[in-house]
């Protein structure tokens, strides 16, 4: 048992079962109207959403990596699934979902769960807000009761469709939608533990049935009766051509499913002081998305709102998620015929409120007001999500975020020419003491701070190469604050070393970190410089450099860059440079 469930049911008791039973039923009640609403918004029959909530809900709780995760259809998937249905059809949506499940399993097996956290916040907020706009505007037609509406893949075409059919507005539908909306928003304020969506849909359905029978569109008139039977098992038709055609949509489903489920798991961790297993969670999501399409279900992921509800109602283990799925199944078998009478106008406010809640408007406004690079990434990702597709939005958003990151990191690299500050007892090297009258012609001493990678390597070379025109005898590179070096950085570094040594100069490196040293060794640059030319402290390197000087060039020099220069520039000491006072090795220069 422990090996199968990672110990999550260890010590499980009757009290735990009671808590899970209550929370599972409550979450099931919340999930049913949402599952149907998300299915309808995705362009498929409402029962497919119920199948998803049932099957995927059970499997995600059983095999996932979070104790409290509730899985099922979510709003984030709506624009993606609708686009796939419109472009490829429902049958191909099932195949794309199954392929996404395989990809999610592979992501978990190869331990890619931790990589999701590297997706920048402006990108996730941007596409989440964009999805919210698409969901909200997609329900305007049902809210107004418009007829003869054709669903399109793109936002502008859908908005045009609304304007063309605004004359078909059904005021009875508007009334039903308002009744549902008022109850949906107002019920939790009066009765916090009662699901507002359920109350709104039940009451508005009763009002429509008794007072506006036949005057408003219902699930039955739009999609037919919801069957009160178990979903049939069917393997989607697979051909090489279909697999190639759907790999793109499948990848998008897998990526968004992974992001959404892990974000939900992180929220659950914060609410319970627990720790989820991200790779196991991806595998659980993958298994659910492989099995669910075999029974007609649409892609599923972790649902943040339902997971939070699960925790708030006292869930003790993944059993609550399993009970939630079983409850949805029992409800389908017993009450499906009654659900067919739900007006589409009653479903619209539910999705509109979901869109409003998922829009992250406060975070959106906060980042947008900053007027920074992150603001640009946010706005562009948002606009592309609304006006093109989520795939393009995420690709461009990530691309911009990477470019901005590289730019910021490149600015972190600082290359300063430095010399010891003789006004300080410690003799610590400082850049501000270097000037035309105070700079050693034979020793060039540089401090490099920051990562030496492809975005900053050119800056490194551009700073050092001009200094070589004066042909100093020794180049000292202080690299104690270089945390890492990539292949491009190594290439430029090697070029600088080669350029300097071919002119007869000596390169000394100080304070290099172990990781950077290993990189230099691996690429042969360490041997190029020579083991004897690496020093722990700057003072040691300066002592070595002073011995490499051409003492004749020191005669009469008035720069006095080092304390020893007073002796070196005088005739009396010029001929005996071996008697130089030693430079303190403990110097922090």
Q: What is the 3-state secondary structure (H, E, C) of 439-450?
A: CCCCEEEEEEEC
In a domain, 407, yes or no: no
In a domain, 585, yes or no: no
pLDDT band at residue 573, thresholds of 50, 70 and 90? Answer: very low
In a domain, 24, yes or no: yes
Would the pLDDT of 420 be above 70? Answer: yes
> Is 336 in the same domain as 475?
no
In a domain, 362, yes or no: yes
> Is 390 in the same domain as 436?
no
CA angle centred on 458, ends 418 and 410, rounded to 5°: 80
> Is 323 in the same domain as 240?
yes
Q: What are the CB-based long-range contacts (under 8 Å, 24+) for 391-396?
A: 391/248, 391/252, 393/126, 393/127, 393/130, 394/123, 394/127, 394/252, 394/255
> Is 438 in the same domain as 525?
yes
> Is 168 in the same domain as 222?
yes
> Is 534 in the same domain as 385?
no
Contact 494, 525 (CB under 8 A): yes
Of 351, 372, 402, which closes a domain? 402
Lowest mean pLDDT among 98-112, 172-186, 423-437: 423-437
Two structure tokens written together for 92: 């191909």
Number of H helices, E strands in the chain: 27, 9
Contact 282, 105 (CB under 8 A): yes
How far, in Å, CA of 496 to CA of 491, rounded? 9
Contact 440, 475 (CB under 8 A): no
In a domain, 587, yes or no: no
> Is 345 in the same domain as 421?
no
pLDDT tens digits for range 447-467: 999 999 999 999 899 888 877
71-72 and 414-417: which strand pairing? unpaired
Would the pLDDT of 587 be above 50? Answer: no
Rounded to two decimals, the pTM is 0.80
What is the percentage of the chain residues whose pLDDT exceeds 70? 95
In a domain, 409, yes or no: no
Would the pLDDT of 368 be above 90? Answer: yes
> Is 489 in the same domain as 390?
no
Would the pLDDT of 584 be above 50? Answer: no
Number of structural domains, the chain? 2
CA-based nearest residue to 321, from 290, 284, 347: 284
What is the percentage of the chain residues whose pLDDT exceeds 90? 63
CA dihedral 297, 80, 76, 130 (to 10 degrees): -160
CB contact set of 211 (below 8 Å; sequence gap of 6+) = none
Of 402, 433, 466, which closes a domain? 402
In a domain, 408, yes or no: no
Domain that holds residue 185: 2-402
Would the pLDDT of 186 be above 70? Answer: yes
Would the pLDDT of 586 be above 50? Answer: no
> Is 126 in the same domain as 201?
yes
> Is 342 in the same domain as 440?
no
pLDDT tens digits for range 285-340: 999 999 999 999 999 999 988 998 899 888 889 999 999 999 999 999 998 888 99
- Residue 221 to residues 205, 213, 217, 272, 344, Cα–Cα distance (Å): 14, 12, 6, 44, 10
> Is 397 in the same domain as 424?
no
Contact 188, 196 (CB under 8 A): yes
Would the pLDDT of 575 be above 70? Answer: no
pLDDT band at residue 7, thresholds of 50, 70 and 90? Answer: low
Instruction: Quote the pLDDT of residue 577.
Output: 44
Helices within 388-448 (DSSP H only): 390-412
Helix (H) or strand (E) holding 430: strand 429-430
pLDDT tens digits for range 203-245: 999 999 999 998 999 999 998 889 988 889 999 999 999 999 9
In a domain, 289, yes or no: yes
- CATH code, domain with 428: 3.30.750.24
> Is 123 in the same domain as 239?
yes
- SS3 per residue for 448-472: EECCECCCCHHHHHHHHHHHHHHCC
Instruction: Quote the pLDDT of residue 367.
Output: 93
Of 368, 402, 436, which closes a domain? 402
């Amino acid at each position: 048992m422990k090996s199968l469930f990672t110990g999550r049911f260890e010590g499980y008791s009757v009290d735990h079962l009671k808590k899970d039973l209550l929370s599972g039923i409550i979450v099931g009640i919340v999930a049913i109207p949402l599952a149907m609403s998300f299915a309808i918004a995705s362009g498929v029959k409402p029962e497919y959403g119920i199948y998803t909530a049932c099957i995927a809900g059970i499997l995600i709780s059983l095999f996932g990596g979070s104790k409290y995760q509730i899985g099922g259809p979510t709003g984030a998937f709506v624009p993606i699934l609708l686009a796939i249905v419109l472009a490829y059809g429902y049958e191909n949506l099932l195949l794309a979902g199954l392929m996404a499940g395989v990809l999610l399993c592979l992501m978990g097996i190869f331990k890619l769960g931790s990589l999701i956290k590297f997706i920048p916040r402006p990108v996730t907020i941007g596409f989440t807000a964009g999805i919210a706009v698409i969901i909200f505007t997609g329900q305007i037609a049902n809210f107004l009761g418009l007829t003869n509406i054709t669903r399109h893949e793109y936002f502008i075409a859908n908005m045009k469709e609304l304007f063309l059919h605004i004359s078909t507005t059904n005021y009875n539908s508007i009334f039903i939608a308002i009744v549902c909306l008022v109850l949906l928003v107002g019920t939790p304020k009066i009765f916090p533990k009662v699901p507002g969506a359920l109350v709104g849909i039940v009451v508005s359905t009763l009002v429509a049935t008794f007072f506006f029978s036949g005057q408003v569109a219902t699930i039955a008139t739009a999609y037919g009766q919801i069957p009160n039977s178990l979903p049939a098992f069917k393997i989607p038709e697979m051909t090489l051509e279909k697999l190639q055609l759907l790999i793109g949509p499948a990848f998008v489903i897998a990526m968004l499913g992974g992001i959404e489920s892990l974000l939900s798991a992180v929220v659950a961790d914060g609410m319970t002081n627990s720790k989820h297993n991200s790779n196991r969670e991806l595998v659980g999501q993958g298994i659910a998305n492989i099995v669910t399409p075999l029974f007609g279900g649409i892609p599923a992921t972790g649902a943040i709102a339902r997971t939070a509800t699960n925790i708030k109602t006292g869930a003790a283990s993944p059993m609550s998620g399993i009970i939630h799925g079983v409850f949805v199944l029992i409800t389908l078998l017993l009450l499906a015929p009654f659900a067919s009478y739900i007006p589409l106008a009653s479903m619209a406010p539910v999705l509109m409120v979901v869109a409003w809640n998922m829009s992250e408007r406060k975070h959106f406004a906060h980042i947008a007001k900053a007027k920074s690079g992150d603001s640009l990434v946010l706005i562009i990702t948002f606009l592309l999500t609304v006006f093109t597709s989520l795939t393009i939005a995420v690709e461009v958003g990530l691309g911009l975020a990477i470019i901005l990151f590289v730019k910021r990191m490149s600015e972190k690299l600082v290359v300063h020419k430095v010399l010891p500050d003789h006004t300080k007892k410690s003799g610590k090297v400082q850049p501000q003491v270097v000037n035309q009258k105070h700079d050693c012609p034979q020793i060039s001493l540089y401090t490099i701070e920051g990562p030496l990678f492809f975005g900053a390597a050119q800056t490194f070379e551009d700073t050092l190469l001009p200094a070589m025109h004066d042909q100093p005898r020794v180049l000292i590179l202080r690299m104690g604050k270089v945390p890492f070096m990539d292949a491009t950085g190594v290439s430029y570094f090697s070029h600088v070393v080669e350029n300097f040594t071919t002119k007869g100069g000596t390169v000394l490196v100080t304070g290099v970190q172990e990781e950077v040293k290993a990189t230099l060794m691996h690429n042969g640059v360490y041997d190029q410089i020579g083991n004897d030319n690496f020093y722990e402290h700057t003072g040691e390197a300066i002592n070595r450099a002073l011995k490499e000087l051409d003492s004749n060039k020191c005669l009469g020099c008035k720069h006095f860059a080092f304390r020893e220069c007073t002796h070196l520039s005088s005739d009396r000491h010029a001929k005996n440079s071996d008697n130089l006072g030693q430079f303190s090795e403990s110097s922090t220069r």
